[in-house]
Amino acid sequence: MGFAMNVLEALAYAFVAVIGLVALIGVVLFAIDRTQKSDAIRRNYPVIGRFRHLFSELGEFFRQYFFAMDREELPFNRAQRDWVSRAAGGQSNTVAFGSTRNLSVVGTPIFVNAPFPPLDNQHASTEPMVIGEGARLPYTATSFFNISGMSYGAISKPAVQALSHGAKEAGIWLNTGEGGVSPFHLEGGCDLVFQIGTAKFGVRDEDGNLSEEKLRKVATHESVRMFEIKLSQGAKPGKGGILPGEKVTEEIAEIRGLRVGQDGISPNRHREVDSFEDLLDLIHHVREVTGKPVGIKTAVGSEDALRPLFEAIVARGAESAPDFITLDGGEGGTGAAPMPLIDLVGLSIREALPVVTNLRDAHGLKSRIRLVASGKLVNPGDVAWALAAGADFVTSARGFMFSLGCIQALKCNKNTCPTGITTHDPRFQHGLVVEDKFKRVAHYAKGIIKEVETIAHSVGVAEPRLMRRRHVRLVQPNGMTVGMNEILPSVQQAAE
């Protein structure tokens, strides 16, 4: 009995102590909130006002998991992410009881099924396509779906390793991003597209200019199959990036051609390129030095802004053209950027791709310049639309981030990514197991390819790139659909 009383007394004292501690903390917070001047809510409503910030911070997570419907969330909804997750896991993506997609949303693409499609044993299959036939070492790409640019530094070491091994497994290419080629890109043995950003990371001299010696060295890697000169990206057209000096470790410095602790600053454009004539000179120079296909990556502001490029190519001759053009949609990508640029600058890929396709074809460059589409194209319908609109290839960054396990936590720019993809914190990187994730990367790529081929088979063509704008109808404000070829006629169609 006495022992029990002692225990009860101890518990009572502990309870009183906890209550006293809570009261003390409340008094201290009350005093702090009353005297601080930066937050009016906390100043007027001490302690309680703090819950507003807590609920605001947690709101995006509650919406994602409890309140948002499958098709509501942005930038990618749950249905899109779940499709990628199932494909990456090698699971079936068949569904029951009808579509959950709202098919009355303006712009929704509806594919036109053929009345007599090929028999199942005549399934549509992807054919390899050559890029840069005029280069000394042209590249034969086996897949229309590939991995877009994500730099080592912007994403973690295990993420790059998983992408490299996964790309090799799936037979697709991996774009290095503007951070240069690292041992982790080379590790898997996949085909690489080396991106030359405005800071020339990986191929720069001490003054930040393009180094022929380093360019030749990079070109000696058999895995590096093409070079992409980055003019701008959809996330931030007209603005360069910065890798803070504290993140420039000895390893990063070696790869990027910086000094340890030096800020990695990307100018908003290539300083030596003041015109399209200068751009064509740079393309020719890189192609001559490396012997490999050279293209450009850009976001598009308008048809008029890009027309002089094609006019300059025609004036010089088709051999002066870039071997490919990667069009990045203005919807914003994986890179962190100011909200006005992500939201308001650059055409959506849905508008830019048909416009640039028509420009290329009108100047007689269809067989010379390959078009690569990029910008929120993460599901089979998106990719099939792009091929029908005129793309020769489609690349995705965020789709492959989802395949790695991205949960859209929106922490890419804070070094606190909980899945280890965009952080250099070993604690979070520990969760990204390369041996498991590279298989998911490969499964996702193969899943996209298979289902795009299924759509192509349904519309009655033998190869996905044979889909045309007439095979797609777009939902209009009145709920009816109109053929994409009627809204955005192709050059070939207009000539007929």
For residue range 399-443, what is the model confidence (pLDDT) as tens digits?
A: 898 888 877 767 666 777 777 887 777 887 778 888 988 999 999
Model pTM score = 0.83
> Three-state SS for 107?
coil
Q: Exposed, middle or buried by CB within 10 Å (0-12, 13-18, 19+), for 93?
A: middle
Residue ranges of alpha helices (H) inside 63-172 are: 78-88, 157-170
Residue 77 lies in a domain: no
* Residue that terminates a domain, selected from 42, 67, 92: 67
200 and 62 in one domain? no
Q: In what order do the strands lie in the sheet with 109-111?
A: 109-111, 472-475, 481-483
158 and 61 in one domain? no
Q: What is the average per-residue pLDDT within 330-357? A: 73
* Spatial distance between the Cα atoms of 488 and 356, rounded to a whole number of angstroms: 12
63 and 126 in one domain? no
Q: How many domains does the chain have?
A: 2
Please count the residues of the chain.
Answer: 496
139 and 54 in one domain? no
Q: What is the average per-residue pLDDT within 304-320? A: 94
137 and 12 in one domain? no
* Residue that terminates a domain, selected from 51, 67, 83: 67
Helix (H) or strand (E) holding 213: helix 212-219
> Which is more confidently placed, 82 or 106?
106
Residue 92 lies in a domain: no
Q: What is the average per-residue pLDDT within 188-199? A: 94
338 and 453 in one domain? yes
132 and 63 in one domain? no
> Which residue type sits at 455?
I
129 and 58 in one domain? no
Residue 375 lies in a domain: yes
167 and 53 in one domain? no
> Three-state SS for 308?
helix
Residue 72 lies in a domain: no
Query: pLDDT tens for residues 207-224?
Result: 888 999 999 999 999 999
Q: How confident is the model at residue 84 (pLDDT cuts 50, 70, 90)?
A: confident
Q: Supply the pLDDT for residue 205.
A: 87
Q: Supply the pLDDT for residue 496.
A: 43
Q: Supply the pLDDT for residue 19.
A: 85
R_g of the chain, CA atoms, integer Å: 26
Q: Supply the pLDDT for residue 196.
A: 95
pLDDT over 90 (residue 464): yes
152 and 54 in one domain? no
Residue 331 lies in a domain: yes
353 and 262 in one domain? yes
The Cβ-side half-sphere exposure at 95, using a 13 Å CA radius, reads: 10
Residues in CB range of 367: below 8 A, 6 or more apart:
none
For the beta carbon of residue 89, count every other beta carbon within 10 angstroms: 14
* Spatial distance between the Cα atoms of 192 and 183, rounded to a whole number of angstroms: 12
Residue 80 lies in a domain: no
Residue 91 lies in a domain: no
Residue 303 lies in a domain: yes
CATH number, domain with residue 397: 3.20.20.70
Residues in CB range of 218: below 8 A, 6 or more apart:
181, 194, 202, 203, 224, 290
Residue range(s) defining the domain that contains residue 27: 2-67
Query: pLDDT tens for residues 170-187?
Result: 999 999 998 889 999 999
* Residue that terminates a domain, selected from 25, 48, 67: 67
> Which is more confidently placed, 103 or 238?
103
Q: How confident is the model at residue 346 (pLDDT cuts 50, 70, 90)?
A: low
Query: pLDDT tens for residues 451-461?
Result: 999 999 999 99
398 and 273 in one domain? yes
Helices (H) and strands (E) in the chain, counts: 18, 15
Query: pLDDT tens for residues 120-129?
Result: 777 778 899 9
Helix (H) or strand (E) holding 381: helix 380-389
